[in-house]
Amino acid sequence: MPRPKGSVYDGVACSIDGCPRPARKRGWCLRHYKAWERNGDPVAINDFFLRTPSQRFWGMVAPADANECWLWMGTKTVAGYGMFRRTTAHRFAYEDMIAPIPENLTLDHLCRTRGCVNPYHLDPCPREENARRARAAAAAV
Ligand SMILES: [Zn+2]
Ligand SMILES: [Zn+2]
């Protein structure tokens, strides 16, 4: 059986340093080629992967003053909480800026804005206390 015709770059690795993917166009793999098409720079996409989770996280937060709600622009749960790397966005924000949250504590949104990731609007408290405050807030409306 004749092999399907491959590209001229068949068997050659992408010419971007450290990229193991096979070259397809212009000597680059498809991912680098697409990045070049989109940004005019084949390594722009590499940048994205090199950034730390923290840098990526804060890039998805709407700019706001220190005391305002910092709104999460990334993925959200149905309930309206931001999601980031298998945790909630506000938990990530708090741990990134303040300190790790003990296992038994949840973060209460003092501002009651679920999409807010401003750690100064978050108060670590036991789950029951959080639920009690939520009920109190709901009753106050
Ligand atoms: Zn590549
Ligand atoms: Zn807030």
- On whether the pTM is more than 0.75, the answer is no
In this predicted structure, the answer to whether residue 46 has a pLDDT above a threshold of 70 is no
Please give the pLDDT value at position 112: 93
**Ordered structural domains, the chain, with CATH:** 1-50 (no CATH), 53-140 (3.90.75)
In the chain, which ranges are continuous DSSP H helix? 30-39, 44-50, 53-58, 89-97, 127-140
Assess contact for 43 and 32: CB atoms under 8 A.
yes
Ligand of minimum distance to the alpha carbon of 43: 1
pLDDT digits (tens, 9 = 90+) for 23-37: 999 999 998 998 888
Sign of CA dihedral 106, 111, 113, 116: negative
36 against 9, higher pLDDT: 36
Please give the pLDDT value at position 8: 52
Sign of CA dihedral 71, 73, 75, 76: positive
In this predicted structure, the answer to whether residue 2 has a pLDDT above a threshold of 80 is no
18 CA distance to ligand 1 middle (Å): 8
Q: Retrieve residue 77's tokens.
A: 């749960």
32 CA distance to ligand 1 middle (Å): 5
Question: Which protein residues have a CB closer than 5 Å to ligand 2 (ion)?
Answer: 69, 111, 113, 116, 118, 121
Ligand of minimum distance to the alpha carbon of 111: 2
